[in-house]
Structure 1
Protein backbone atom coordinates (compact mmCIF):
# COMPACT_ATOMS: atom_id res chain seq x y z
CA UNK A 1 0.00 0.00 0.00
CA UNK A 2 1.26 3.46 -0.83
CA UNK A 3 0.08 6.41 1.23
CA UNK A 4 -0.19 8.65 -1.87
CA UNK A 5 -2.83 6.31 -3.32
CA UNK A 6 -5.01 6.87 -0.24
CA UNK A 7 -4.88 10.68 0.00
CA UNK A 8 -8.14 12.48 -0.69
CA UNK A 9 -8.04 16.20 -0.06
CA UNK A 10 -6.25 16.64 3.23
CA UNK A 11 -7.26 13.22 4.57
CA UNK A 12 -5.40 9.94 4.43
CA UNK A 13 -7.66 6.92 4.45
CA UNK A 14 -6.39 3.40 5.15
CA UNK A 15 -8.19 0.42 6.59
CA UNK A 16 -7.20 -2.14 9.18
CA UNK A 17 -9.03 -5.10 10.70
CA UNK A 18 -9.91 -5.40 14.36
CA UNK A 19 -8.98 -8.76 15.89
CA UNK A 20 -11.04 -10.73 18.41
CA UNK A 21 -9.04 -9.02 21.16
CA UNK A 22 -9.96 -5.61 19.67
CA UNK A 23 -6.41 -5.06 18.46
CA UNK A 24 -5.56 -3.12 15.32
CA UNK A 25 -2.42 -3.45 13.25
CA UNK A 26 -1.25 -0.02 12.17
CA UNK A 27 0.03 -0.14 8.58
CA UNK A 28 3.80 0.15 8.23
CA UNK A 29 3.56 3.31 6.12
CA UNK A 30 1.47 5.06 8.79
CA UNK A 31 3.94 4.01 11.50
CA UNK A 32 6.82 5.38 9.46
CA UNK A 33 4.97 8.61 8.75
CA UNK A 34 4.19 9.14 12.46
CA UNK A 35 7.50 7.81 13.76
CA UNK A 36 5.83 4.97 15.67
CA UNK A 37 8.10 2.09 16.65
CA UNK A 38 7.35 -1.27 18.28
CA UNK A 39 6.59 -0.70 21.95
CA UNK A 40 5.58 2.96 21.55
CA UNK A 41 2.31 4.08 23.07
CA UNK A 42 -0.35 5.81 21.02
CA UNK A 43 -3.09 8.13 22.23
CA UNK A 44 -6.65 8.09 20.88
CA UNK A 45 -8.45 11.43 21.04
CA UNK A 46 -12.04 12.23 20.06
CA UNK A 47 -12.28 15.55 18.25
CA UNK A 48 -15.31 16.79 16.31
CA UNK A 49 -16.84 13.30 16.28
CA UNK A 50 -13.64 11.85 14.80
CA UNK A 51 -11.13 9.62 16.53
CA UNK A 52 -7.57 10.80 16.03
CA UNK A 53 -4.56 8.84 17.15
CA UNK A 54 -0.99 9.94 17.55
CA UNK A 55 2.22 8.75 19.09
CA UNK A 56 2.43 9.48 22.80
CA UNK A 57 5.38 11.77 23.31
CA UNK A 58 6.92 12.01 26.74
CA UNK A 59 9.37 14.72 25.69
CA UNK A 60 9.16 17.89 23.68
CA UNK A 61 11.77 19.95 21.86
CA UNK A 62 13.17 22.62 24.15
CA UNK A 63 11.17 25.78 23.44
CA UNK A 64 14.02 28.06 24.55
CA UNK A 65 16.91 26.80 22.39
CA UNK A 66 14.58 25.31 19.72
CA UNK A 67 16.24 21.93 20.15
CA UNK A 68 19.81 23.04 19.48
CA UNK A 69 20.97 22.44 23.06
CA UNK A 70 22.66 25.80 23.35
CA UNK A 71 22.02 29.53 23.46
CA UNK A 72 24.73 31.62 21.82
CA UNK A 73 27.17 28.71 22.12
CA UNK A 74 26.43 28.29 25.85
CA UNK A 75 24.61 25.19 27.11
CA UNK A 76 20.87 25.92 27.28
CA UNK A 77 19.75 26.44 30.88
CA UNK A 78 16.23 25.22 30.16
CA UNK A 79 17.03 21.76 28.75
CA UNK A 80 20.57 21.55 30.16
CA UNK A 81 21.91 20.92 26.67
CA UNK A 82 19.70 17.85 26.09
CA UNK A 83 17.67 19.54 23.33
CA UNK A 84 14.40 18.24 24.86
CA UNK A 85 12.48 18.65 28.09
CA UNK A 86 10.14 16.16 29.78
CA UNK A 87 6.47 16.87 29.11
CA UNK A 88 5.75 16.49 32.81
CA UNK A 89 7.23 19.98 33.10
CA UNK A 90 4.17 21.42 31.42
CA UNK A 91 4.18 24.15 34.05
CA UNK A 92 6.92 26.48 32.89
CA UNK A 93 6.85 28.37 36.16
CA UNK A 94 7.47 25.18 38.15
CA UNK A 95 10.21 24.11 35.75
CA UNK A 96 11.99 27.46 35.94
CA UNK A 97 11.81 27.57 39.72
CA UNK A 98 13.25 24.05 39.77
CA UNK A 99 16.14 25.18 37.54
CA UNK A 100 16.85 28.22 39.69
CA UNK A 101 16.82 26.18 42.87
CA UNK A 102 19.24 23.61 41.46
CA UNK A 103 21.30 25.18 38.69
CA UNK A 104 21.16 28.99 38.80
CA UNK A 105 24.83 29.38 39.65
CA UNK A 106 25.91 26.79 37.10
CA UNK A 107 24.16 28.66 34.28
CA UNK A 108 24.67 32.16 35.72
CA UNK A 109 21.00 33.03 35.38
CA UNK A 110 18.71 35.13 37.52
CA UNK A 111 14.95 34.85 37.49
CA UNK A 112 12.23 37.19 38.64
CA UNK A 113 8.63 36.04 38.97
CA UNK A 114 6.06 38.82 39.19
CA UNK A 115 2.48 37.95 40.07
CA UNK A 116 1.22 41.42 41.00
CA UNK A 117 1.72 45.01 39.97
CA UNK A 118 1.01 48.43 41.39
CA UNK A 119 -1.32 50.66 39.38
CA UNK A 120 -0.99 54.42 39.02
CA UNK A 121 -3.39 54.87 41.96
CA UNK A 122 -1.06 52.70 44.11
CA UNK A 123 -3.53 49.83 44.22
CA UNK A 124 -2.14 46.31 43.93
CA UNK A 125 -3.49 44.13 41.14
CA UNK A 126 -2.92 40.38 40.89
CA UNK A 127 -1.90 39.45 37.35
CA UNK A 128 -3.91 36.83 35.45
CA UNK A 129 -0.71 34.90 34.94
CA UNK A 130 2.71 35.50 36.45
CA UNK A 131 5.37 37.29 34.47
CA UNK A 132 8.74 35.55 34.26
CA UNK A 133 11.90 37.53 33.62
CA UNK A 134 15.20 35.72 33.11
CA UNK A 135 18.51 37.53 32.98
CA UNK A 136 22.12 36.50 32.46
CA UNK A 137 25.36 38.33 31.82
CA UNK A 138 26.40 35.43 29.55
CA UNK A 139 23.60 35.99 27.03
CA UNK A 140 23.05 39.05 24.83
CA UNK A 141 20.24 41.45 25.73
CA UNK A 142 18.53 40.73 22.41
CA UNK A 143 18.52 36.98 23.06
CA UNK A 144 17.32 37.52 26.66
CA UNK A 145 14.34 39.50 25.32
CA UNK A 146 13.57 36.66 22.91
CA UNK A 147 13.85 34.06 25.70
CA UNK A 148 11.58 36.07 28.00
CA UNK A 149 8.94 36.33 25.26
CA UNK A 150 9.10 32.56 24.68
CA UNK A 151 8.79 31.87 28.40
CA UNK A 152 5.78 34.15 28.71
CA UNK A 153 4.08 32.40 25.79
CA UNK A 154 4.54 29.05 27.55
CA UNK A 155 2.72 30.06 30.73
Structure 2
Protein backbone atom coordinates (compact mmCIF):
# COMPACT_ATOMS: atom_id res chain seq x y z
CA UNK A 1 0.00 0.00 0.00
CA UNK A 2 1.51 3.42 -0.92
CA UNK A 3 2.22 5.85 1.86
CA UNK A 4 -0.02 8.92 1.98
CA UNK A 5 1.59 12.33 2.44
CA UNK A 6 1.02 14.18 5.72
CA UNK A 7 -2.11 16.32 5.93
CA UNK A 8 -0.26 19.40 7.16
CA UNK A 9 2.90 21.05 5.85
CA UNK A 10 6.11 19.69 7.37
CA UNK A 11 7.89 21.81 9.91
CA UNK A 12 11.55 22.44 9.34
CA UNK A 13 14.09 22.98 12.10
CA UNK A 14 15.44 26.52 12.19
CA UNK A 15 18.55 27.35 14.21
CA UNK A 16 18.34 29.93 17.00
CA UNK A 17 18.87 33.52 15.87
CA UNK A 18 21.49 34.29 18.49
CA UNK A 19 24.83 32.54 18.61
CA UNK A 20 24.17 31.46 22.20
CA UNK A 21 20.55 30.88 23.24
CA UNK A 22 19.84 32.50 26.61
CA UNK A 23 19.21 30.33 29.66
CA UNK A 24 20.45 27.10 28.12
CA UNK A 25 23.83 26.75 29.81
CA UNK A 26 24.60 23.08 30.33
CA UNK A 27 21.80 21.97 27.99
CA UNK A 28 22.73 19.95 24.92
CA UNK A 29 20.53 20.67 21.92
CA UNK A 30 19.94 17.71 19.62
CA UNK A 31 17.59 18.37 16.72
CA UNK A 32 15.91 15.17 15.70
CA UNK A 33 15.91 13.90 12.14
CA UNK A 34 18.56 16.46 11.08
CA UNK A 35 15.90 19.13 11.27
CA UNK A 36 13.77 17.34 8.65
CA UNK A 37 15.80 18.25 5.57
CA UNK A 38 14.06 18.62 2.19
CA UNK A 39 15.45 15.35 0.80
CA UNK A 40 12.47 14.65 -1.47
CA UNK A 41 12.84 18.09 -3.04
CA UNK A 42 16.60 17.59 -3.49
CA UNK A 43 17.25 21.14 -2.31
CA UNK A 44 20.17 21.49 0.08
CA UNK A 45 21.18 25.16 0.02
CA UNK A 46 18.86 26.72 2.64
CA UNK A 47 19.00 23.66 4.90
CA UNK A 48 22.82 23.52 4.66
CA UNK A 49 23.17 27.17 5.66
CA UNK A 50 20.83 26.74 8.63
CA UNK A 51 22.43 23.51 9.82
CA UNK A 52 25.97 24.92 9.60
CA UNK A 53 24.80 27.83 11.79
CA UNK A 54 23.40 25.33 14.26
CA UNK A 55 26.67 23.35 14.26
CA UNK A 56 28.54 26.52 15.23
CA UNK A 57 26.83 26.42 18.62
CA UNK A 58 29.09 24.51 21.02
CA UNK A 59 26.22 22.84 22.89
CA UNK A 60 24.69 21.06 19.88
CA UNK A 61 24.85 17.55 18.51
CA UNK A 62 22.94 16.11 15.56
CA UNK A 63 21.01 12.88 15.29
CA UNK A 64 21.23 10.86 12.08
CA UNK A 65 17.62 9.69 12.07
CA UNK A 66 14.39 10.07 10.17
CA UNK A 67 16.05 10.52 6.79
CA UNK A 68 14.31 7.64 5.04
CA UNK A 69 10.86 9.10 5.61
CA UNK A 70 11.97 12.56 4.42
CA UNK A 71 13.00 11.13 1.04
CA UNK A 72 10.54 10.57 -1.81
CA UNK A 73 8.23 7.80 -0.51
CA UNK A 74 9.10 4.49 -2.16
CA UNK A 75 11.24 6.24 -4.76
CA UNK A 76 14.57 7.15 -3.19
CA UNK A 77 18.17 6.03 -3.50
CA UNK A 78 20.92 6.14 -0.89
CA UNK A 79 22.62 8.87 -2.95
CA UNK A 80 19.59 11.13 -2.29
CA UNK A 81 20.55 11.05 1.41
CA UNK A 82 24.30 11.43 0.98
CA UNK A 83 24.57 15.25 0.52
CA UNK A 84 22.68 15.80 3.77
CA UNK A 85 24.71 13.27 5.76
CA UNK A 86 28.00 14.55 4.30
CA UNK A 87 27.07 18.13 5.25
CA UNK A 88 26.30 17.12 8.84
CA UNK A 89 29.48 15.06 9.18
CA UNK A 90 31.48 18.03 7.90
CA UNK A 91 29.67 20.60 10.06
CA UNK A 92 29.42 18.70 13.36
CA UNK A 93 32.17 16.12 13.06
CA UNK A 94 31.54 12.49 13.99
CA UNK A 95 32.03 13.12 17.72
CA UNK A 96 28.96 15.39 17.76
CA UNK A 97 26.74 13.01 15.76
CA UNK A 98 24.60 10.16 16.98
CA UNK A 99 22.63 7.49 15.17
CA UNK A 100 18.90 7.13 15.67
CA UNK A 101 16.80 4.48 13.96
CA UNK A 102 13.49 6.39 13.98
CA UNK A 103 11.83 3.02 14.55
CA UNK A 104 8.94 2.28 14.08
CA UNK A 105 8.28 5.23 11.74
CA UNK A 106 11.25 4.23 9.57
CA UNK A 107 9.47 0.97 8.75
CA UNK A 108 7.37 2.94 6.28
CA UNK A 109 10.49 2.83 4.08
CA UNK A 110 12.83 0.18 5.54
CA UNK A 111 13.13 -2.19 8.46
CA UNK A 112 15.30 -1.47 11.48
CA UNK A 113 18.30 -3.48 10.26
CA UNK A 114 18.07 -1.88 6.82
CA UNK A 115 18.06 1.60 8.41
CA UNK A 116 21.19 0.67 10.37
CA UNK A 117 22.84 -0.72 7.23
CA UNK A 118 22.02 2.38 5.19
CA UNK A 119 23.43 4.69 7.88
CA UNK A 120 26.52 2.46 8.01
CA UNK A 121 26.99 2.89 4.25
CA UNK A 122 26.47 6.65 4.51
CA UNK A 123 29.24 6.82 7.12
CA UNK A 124 31.67 4.43 5.38
CA UNK A 125 34.30 7.17 4.95
CA UNK A 126 34.65 7.47 8.75
CA UNK A 127 37.35 5.65 10.68
CA UNK A 128 36.31 2.84 13.07
CA UNK A 129 36.78 5.25 16.01
CA UNK A 130 34.58 7.87 14.34
CA UNK A 131 31.90 5.30 13.52
CA UNK A 132 31.96 4.14 17.14
CA UNK A 133 31.33 7.76 18.16
CA UNK A 134 28.33 8.03 15.82
CA UNK A 135 26.80 4.67 16.68
CA UNK A 136 27.57 4.56 20.41
CA UNK A 137 29.75 7.08 22.25
CA UNK A 138 28.01 10.35 21.38
CA UNK A 139 24.63 9.03 22.55
CA UNK A 140 26.20 7.62 25.71
CA UNK A 141 27.83 10.96 26.47
CA UNK A 142 24.82 13.14 25.65
CA UNK A 143 21.99 11.07 27.10
CA UNK A 144 23.81 10.03 30.25
CA UNK A 145 23.73 13.70 31.33
CA UNK A 146 19.96 13.78 31.38
CA UNK A 147 19.49 10.50 33.23
CA UNK A 148 20.20 12.26 36.52
CA UNK A 149 17.84 15.19 35.94
CA UNK A 150 14.50 15.59 37.67
CA UNK A 151 12.77 14.77 34.38
CA UNK A 152 14.22 11.26 34.35
CA UNK A 153 14.09 9.82 37.85
CA UNK A 154 16.17 6.80 38.62
CA UNK A 155 14.29 3.55 38.23
CA UNK A 156 13.29 1.87 41.45
CA UNK A 157 15.18 -1.19 42.42
CA UNK A 158 12.89 -4.06 43.12
CA UNK A 159 13.74 -6.66 45.69
CA UNK A 160 13.26 -10.24 44.76
CA UNK A 161 10.48 -11.92 46.58
CA UNK A 162 11.53 -14.95 48.57
CA UNK A 163 10.64 -18.18 46.81
CA UNK A 164 8.40 -20.57 48.78
CA UNK A 165 10.26 -23.52 50.16
One fold, TM greater than 0.5? no
TM-score, normalization by structure 2: 0.20
Higher-strand-fraction structure: 1
